[in-house]
Structure 1
Amino acid sequence: MLRHCVIALALLATAAAAAPRREAATAPGLAAPGEIVVDRWGIAHIYAGSSRDAFFLQGYAVARDRLWQIDLWRKRGLGRLAASFGPAFVAQDRASRLFLYRGDMAAEWAAYPAEAKGWTQAFAAGINAYVGDVAAGRRPLPEEFRATGSTPERWQADDVVRIRSNALASNLPSELARARSLCAGGLPYEPLRRKLEPPHAITLPKGLDPCVLTPEVLGDYALGTAGVRFEAGKLVAQTPAERLAAAADPEVREGSNNWVIAPARSATGRAILANDPHREHSVPSLRTLVHLEAPDLHIAGAGEPALPGVSFGHNEDAAWALTIFYIDQQDLVVAGAETPFRDVVETIDVRGEAPRQVTLQFTPDGPVIHRDAAGRAFVLRATWDRPGASAYFNAAWLFRAKSWADFKVAQSHWGAPPLNLLYADRSGDIGWGAAGFAPVRASGDGLLPVPAGADYRWEGLLDPGLLPRLHNPARGWIATANEMNLPGDYPAEARPLGFEWADRSRIGRIETVIGAKPKFSLADAMALQTDTHSPLAARAVALLKGLNGEDADQQAALRLLGGWDGNMSADSAAAALYEVWAGRHLGDAAMRLAVPAAVRPGMDGPSIPALFGLMERRDPIVEPHRAAILKASLGAAWRATAARLGPDPARWRWDQLHKAIFTPALAIPGREAQRQVGPAGVGGSGSTPMATSPRADFTVAGGASVRMVLDVGDWDASMVINAPGQSGDADSPHYRDLFPMWAAGRYVPFRWTRTAVMRDAELVIAVTPNP
């Protein structure tokens, strides 16, 4: 009898646990009743009577989860930080306003699908409905607003697409770095600083003095494109110097992996599409997972929290994925007094003080980002000022895509950022297309700043039909990882797109793994996204063969690395030594021994992949110094690693240094433990498929926070992870619940059908129109 009672109680407990909690809400602006179903991983599944209501509820749901994050995004982008946080943010507000779209709004909206404006209006109305609930006391004000004494603002649809600072590619800092190198006489050493692909000769533009390009030129660019960070416990912005250092770092670039497997190569008999974009880690996470279902729309995926819909994901018929494709969409223009300038005077509201008037300057080429003492103006010319260049917004063209023809339409409209778009559908089609506005230059190659004037003007944008694409390749799969992947028959000199790409280490490993499997499964895709093998590290080991150490430290380092396979696993001692060596000591030794002293001050450190390539080719830049560079840097790295991890290499582990820590933009005194996520030791590096970007102390600054693997057609079988969690509320269980799984390389289901969603439902919010 007792046993039966225990069983009955257990069954009741299971049933109770399975029943989702229920809430009710009313919202002005909603046309018909709808639901927000939150599953046990914090993912919102939205059910609405129309696509318009679905986007309204998406806005309401994202405000519920991340009001502080999206409000901060909008205030930063529009240049409205000082109104909430005080005079320390006036300079950043002014800089941000330089990068707003200032063209005709009718033309802007006409560049997107016909319904996009209505969808965005509904999305903004949903956010505003939740903001109204907060203002009325029906919903709590997030703690960040309370800590800063600020309040959330109301949205308009135009706000979403006018903000362009998140659409800027990373070429501008590279142009400046190259100019400074040439000023110092570094042209012969440019192959050490950065590899160009396809091979291309650097030519100094006629009339350009590279020595006028100083780091200060990027001051407003850095302020206007950076995120918002506060000094601990204070409403004080980071200094311009801190932002300038980040913007000028040539290794700080967006990256990603994606691949698509055709049904004939798939273990499921259906296409498989995988995507893991790499960006700076943050809490809340940079992207959010969402699922929208209405009679006229059904999509799921990951997107920017402040945008309607998803950036990558799927609909009922097709799926798409993205990585950055490095079209050079920017030029730095040096203008003189003969250039026509237009002044725009704007008012910046300042909390606690009188409003400030600031003057923004523009030329026909774009905004003035710096003026020097000699009166020269430095101007950003970029594709983002064209209609249709709002970052990721053109994903709306894919929400109803059903075929390769539909995909090509979306590719042709894509403005920014420039992407490798991958495609798969239920019929078995797969494909790739380069996407993004590509400038046609009258002369010059985009690698260096140019003088203002007709000689270096832009003649328009390349016809998108001329961008490369690939459909149903014979080998049965396509993969990209930001590498130079222009087809062999693409006329790269006649129609240049860009010359600066990611190293081939990640794509090399991805191609090796996929190519070795006659059938590729969902489990294989998840394992590959978390693969820690580095072909770049394996190249380093090959370079060390035959090298004899001159002292005990060099000999010990050579022994540890000599038999290593390049696996950057969390428990690897060799991986720890390699990263300390390659990341902190090898480049310094190369600069000291291979680059003349007069050149070094104007030249940033070498690219390690470029250095390895020169050593492998025995290039005269490094060959006379090759052994000395390797040995001196290895000894220094051994000593530095021992100083950090102790004298016994048997106890070294890469994850003792390489820890993922997610830190919020705002520190609230007394709440640090609740708001910081991590640390957790992880493997990987910048050259492994499980890509990471280290800080100076080797903690992880960025990587793939979202990993997604889609079973095309059997959508319920798809898997995903989003670190550290779906919520921006530090007291929510979904603020950090996905972090341990992410750190361990695990995933959660990404449900699609109503039955599967309700099986994992945790909360159902029934939202009805306000009477």
Structure 2
Amino acid sequence: MADETIPVAGLAEPASIVLDRWGIPHIRAESLMDMFFVQGFNAARDRLWQIDLGRKRGLGQLAADFGPGYLEQDRAARLFLYRGDMEREWSSYGDDSRAICERFVAGINAYIGLCEREPERLPPEFAAMGTRPARWQAEDVVRIRSHGWVRNAVSEVVRSNVVAASGAAADLLRQNIEPAHDATAGREVEALPLECLDALELATAPVTFKPERLAARLEDAAAWRKVSPLGEVMREAAAQGSNNWAVHGSRTDTGRPILAGDPHRTHVVPSLRYIIHMSAPGFDGIGAGEPSLPGISMGHNGTAGFGLTLFFGHDQEDVYTYETHPDDPHLYRYGDGWEPMRVLTEKVALKDGGEAELVLKFTRHGPVLAEYPGQRKAIAMRTVWLEPGTAPYFRSIVTMHADSFDAFRRGMAGWGVPATNQVYADISGAIGWVVAGFSPARPNWDGLLAVPGDGRFEWDGYLAAESLPFTLDPPEGYVATANEMNVPDAWHDENRPIGYEWVEPSRAHRIGESFAAEKIHSVESAKALQTDVLSIPARRLCGLLAGVEPEAPEAREAMTLLAGWDHRLSEASAAAALFEVWWTRHLRPAVIERLVPDPASRLLIGLGDVASVIAVLEAPADRMSISDRDRLLAGTLAAAFRTCRTLMGDDAVGWAWGRIHVAHFEHAVGAARDGTSFDVGPFPIGGSESTPMNAAFRPDDFRLVSGASFRMVLDVGDWDRSVCINTPGQSGDPRSPHYADLAPIWAAGDYVPMLYSRAAVDAAAVRTIRLQPVV
């Protein structure tokens, strides 16, 4: 695409956007406020459909564009909007936070105005759906909370059902608890209705465009209260996570620190992340963030590098149950009396020009998720989302300026959501790890089950940020996290637990093995580790087969195929395909079926927690005998071999994990009116949710659902040697050459340069957009 010059009202001085050959924009502005203006303009230039849809979803304004089938999602989103004091909200992020947002949205609105004058600039999704982008307000950036991730309300409700029907041991198969703890001690557990989660699930769900939903009439609105089965929500939550690490110069080939990060989120097109370089007097940084937010949350500023993992184990939400008044369901018991719910009625526009009313209810703890007048019961949720200072990732506008570990840690003290492990490295040679996120202090309960909302169970503020764990220049020469339970033992001895639910530790253990085996690290070794597909679960489970003597010929053939396998889930590996079919489709379900008789509980447990299921198989104890375990292994292995024949043919020589495990980036709209698909893929992929290269998949068809769309490896101090990747491309416009150009590179486990110096950027530049102020 050719260079161009665009006159832009609202810009104070000339600025430019230099695009390199990989679609990474390098903004050059003459002031910080112009820099944020241009960032907003560029976000709209490259991701207008995405950020417009995200804004409408978050504010609860979908029905105005798409009809009554979206009213329930609008209502759910509005329950979780920040509705508190805006002065407290702005001040939580710093004195300039409002000004930054005002300039950022002014840039977005300037590009929308340009599209109104030149409609051909609008991405084709708007024509396909018959909509137009809407103007932004500065408050929109911070009031929308439902794109962030907090936990564990869903788990509390599911736990109540599993424990009530099948006991605490069954629930541990669903979600392991660390540190070990009895969540049900002294309690009679009552199962909460699963549909009480509908509003929460809907508020956080992506927007879908099924024809029947788009055609829904007002009387059909309630039919769209649930957009996905609970099992899908639970599987997606379990697959989210990240890896990051920082290596001291004493352990690198250059003597400089290396910092690496690859957040794992749902795979979509456009990507959830956007890579951008922002430069103005007072700041020069490059990295990734959310396209609808100012600043960057992962990257470097020329002095310090920083990266996050989503998530750390903070438990940031609680479900409350209420006894309601026999004569007025809007009164709930609190203390010795009754307290009224706050009831709001909001009018919303509909696509046909009409209006509808949405009724929103709140207790002192938060939004009312469900009401059961016949049982005199209501259920609500308290979440840090609704507290000042918890706009997801927005604290990055402060932390991206840090030039020392102390400054970074001070900035992270105000980071509310999401709860994260943050790693740090700078040109002085320092490396460190910081826990970030508001962590509620619960004086008299553990947060693992719902509690009465009558005043007996209240938060006592948050754990002091300065008391949260951190590390500076550890003797091991590195810091690394992968969502495992990594709270130091000494910290637990003196403090209440931060949380009990963590991701199973296979990725963390593999990363730890790599650091133990490889004393000197490099950018290349960091790339290799980020794309490592060795499966520790595969190694452990294949080890159990040594004493198995199967009778079925298919089981014997399967054991022959697995013998001598290196346990790497490589895309070309037949053994990898067999193992994942066995583990996912047969062995895990068989263990759950064997140990949990209740069918309803089994549905909620799903495939179970990886660590918990493997622990049962390695040490059956009183749950099953060794001989029973071996028969289970052999029987499911034979069944898996037969399944592989059905999926990939009779000859195992032609099997390959990448034949069935593929990345297909599905666009919400799907296709333009002319039938042109907006989807990207498929690409054969290795790995699984348990490998450092996180590649979680749907068990029904093995299609990838989440993992690292963005990866970066920073050579701290020689910044032009840093590398990164985003997928499927930087742009969200299907007409752009950068819409899908990075996907094949990503699928091959490769990277592109993360150029920083002006000389290196100019040498790789393919297009310059010059922005001129309108006098």
Quickly name the TM-score band, shorter chain normalised.
over 0.9
Change (3 A) 1:191 1:545: farther
Work out whether 1:294 is the aligned partner of 2:280.
Answer: yes
Instruction: Indicate which of 24, 43, 51 corresponds to 2:5.
Output: 24
Q: 1:37 to 1:295 in 2, by over 3 A?
A: same
Paired residue secondary structure (1:618)? coil
**Paired amino acid for 1:765:** I
Q: Are the equivalent residues in 1 in contact too, given 2:248–2:477 (CA < 8 A)?
A: yes
| 2:560 paired residue number | 559
Q: Does 1:258 align with 2:259?
A: no
* 1:236-271 residue CA offsets vs partner (Å, 9 max, x unmatched): 699444424332447544210101011111112111
Letter in 1 for 2:322: A
Distance 1:139 1:117 in 2: 32
Structure 1 residues 290 and 599 mapped into 2: Cα distance closer, same or farther (>3 Å)? closer
- Match runs of 1:123-134 below 5 Å: 123-134=104-115
Offset, 1:195: 1.5
5 Å matches for 1:531-542?
A: 531-542=532-543
Assess, with a 3 A threshold, how the Cα gap between structure 1 residues 366 and 622 changes in structure 2: closer, same or farther.
farther
CA shift for structure 1 position 670: 5.7
Q: Aligned residue for 2:260? A: 274
Name the counterpart of 2:323: 336
Instruction: Give the 3 Å change call, closer, same or farther, for CA 239–360 of structure 1 in structure 2.
Output: closer
Aligned partner of 2:214 in structure 1 is 235
* Residues 352 and 269 (structure 1), Cα distance of their counterparts in 2 relative to 1, 3 Å cut: same
Query: Is the CA contact 2:596–2:602 (under 8 Å) kept in the aligned structure 1?
Result: no
Q: Which runs of structure 2 are paired with 1:730-749 in the superposition (5 Å)?
A: 730-749=734-753
The alpha-carbon deviation at position 185 of structure 1 amounts to 3.0
Q: Does 1:701 align with 2:705?
A: yes
Shift of 1:186: 2.3
Alignment of 1:88-127 (within 5 A): 88-127=69-108
After TM superposition, the structure 1 = structure 2 runs for residues 4-403 of structure 1, keeping only pairs within 5 Å, are: 21-137=2-118, 140-203=121-184, 206=187, 209-211=189-191, 213-231=192-210, 235=214, 239-245=224-230, 246-249=232-235, 252-323=238-309, 324-337=311-324, 338-339=332-333, 340=339, 341-372=341-372, 373-403=374-404
Residues 136/410 of structure 1: CA separation in 2 closer, same or farther (3 Å cut): same
Residue 527 of structure 2: aligned partner: 526
Compared with structure 1, are the counterparts of its residues 437 and 697 closer, same or farther at alpha carbon in structure 2 (3 Å cutoff)?
same
What is the number of equivalent residue pairs in this alignment? Answer: 750
Residue by residue over 1:662-704, the C-alpha shift from the partner in whole angstroms, topping out at 9 and shown as x without a partner, is: 0111123566654111101011111111111102200111110
In the alignment, the residues of structure 2 paired with residue 250 and residue 39 of structure 1 have an alpha-carbon distance, to the nearest angstrom, of: 34
Aligned partners of 1:234, 1:381: CA distance in 2, in Å? 30
What is residue 729 of structure 1 aligned with on the other side?
Answer: 733
CA apart distance, 1:221: 0.7
**Hey, what's the Cα distance between the residues in 1 that align with 2:677 and 2:488?**
49
631-640 vs 97-106, which moves further: 631-640
Instruction: List gaps (5 residues or longer) in structure 2.
Output: 217-222, 325-331, 334-338
Could you say what the CA RMSD is over the residues aligned between the two structures, in angstroms?
1.9
2:147 partner SS = helix
8 Å CA contact 1:184, 1:598 repeated in 2:
no
Residue 114 of structure 1 aligns to a residue whose secondary structure is coil
**Contact in 2 for aligned 1:177/1:248 (Cα 8 Å):** no
* Distance in structure 2 (CA, Å) of the matches to 1:295 and 1:418: 31
Counterpart residue type for residue 623 of structure 2: I
Which whole-Å deviations, capped at 9, do the CAs of 1:730-762 have from their partners, x for residues lacking one? Answer: 111100000110000111111111111111111
Describe the superposition over 1:146-187 as per-residue Cα deviations: whole angstroms up to 9, x where unpaired. Answer: 111111000111100001112332412211221111110322
For 1:66 and 1:281, locate their aligned partners in 2 and report how far apart those are by CA, in whole Å.
Answer: 16
Q: 1:712 aligns with which of 671, 693, 716?
A: 716
Rounded to whole Å, the distance in 1 between the matches of 2:529 and 2:688 is 14
Is the contact made by 1:205 and 1:444 (CA closer than 8 Å) also made in structure 2? Answer: no
Residue 453 (structure 1) shift: 2.1
How far off is 1:398 after superposition?
A: 1.5
AA in 2 matched with 1:666? V
Unaligned runs of 5+ in 1: 1-19
Q: Distance in 1 between matches of 2:302 and 2:97?
A: 19
Aligned partner of 1:613 among 612, 615, 619 = 615
**Structure 1 length normalisation: TM-score?**
0.94
Q: 2-side partners of 1:651 and 1:445: how far apart?
A: 51
Letter in 2 for 1:56: F
Instruction: Verify: 1:637 aligned to 2:640, yes or no.
Output: yes
- CA distance in 2: counterparts of 1:622 and 1:387, whole angstroms: 51
Instruction: Quote the offset at 1:374 in angstroms.
Output: 2.1
Larger CA deviation: 185-194 vs 744-753: 185-194
Distance in 1, Cα, partners of 2:726 & 2:734: 16
CA contact (8 A) 2:240 2:706 kept: no
Partners in 2 of 1:38 and 1:644 — Cα distance? 43
2:589 corresponds to: 588
The superposition leaves residues 420-442 of structure 1 with CA deviations (integer Å, 9 ceiling, x where unpaired) of 00001110010001110000113
Any idea what SS the aligned residue of 2:259 has? strand
Q: Residue 46 of structure 2 contacts residue 733 of structure 2 at CA under 8 Å; is this kept in 1?
A: yes
Tell me the alpha carbon deviations over residues 26-74 of structure 1, each in whole angstroms, 9 at most, x when there is no partner: 1111111000111111111000000100110011111011100000010
The alpha-carbon distance between structure 1 residues 239 and 643, as it changes in their structure 2 partners (threshold 3 A), is farther
* Alpha-carbon distance in structure 1 between the residues aligned to 2:58 and 2:185: 34
Q: Please give the alpha-carbon distance, in whole angstroms, between the structure 1 residues aligned to 2:323 and 2:278.
A: 52
1:204–1:448 CA contact under 8 A, matched in 2: no
Structure 1 residues 558-567 or 701-710, which shifts more? 558-567
- Listed as ranges, the matches of 1:670-689 within 5 Å are 674-689=677-692
Q: Residues of 2 paired with 1:262 and 1:151: CA distance?
A: 50
Partners of 2:495 and 2:639 lie apart in 1 by: 46
Task: Please give the per-residue CA displacement for 1:214-248, whole angstroms capped at 9, x wherever unaligned.
Answer: 22111111110111111169736994444243324
Distance 1:671 1:646, change over 3 A: farther
Distance in 2 between the 1:188 and 1:24 partners? Answer: 65
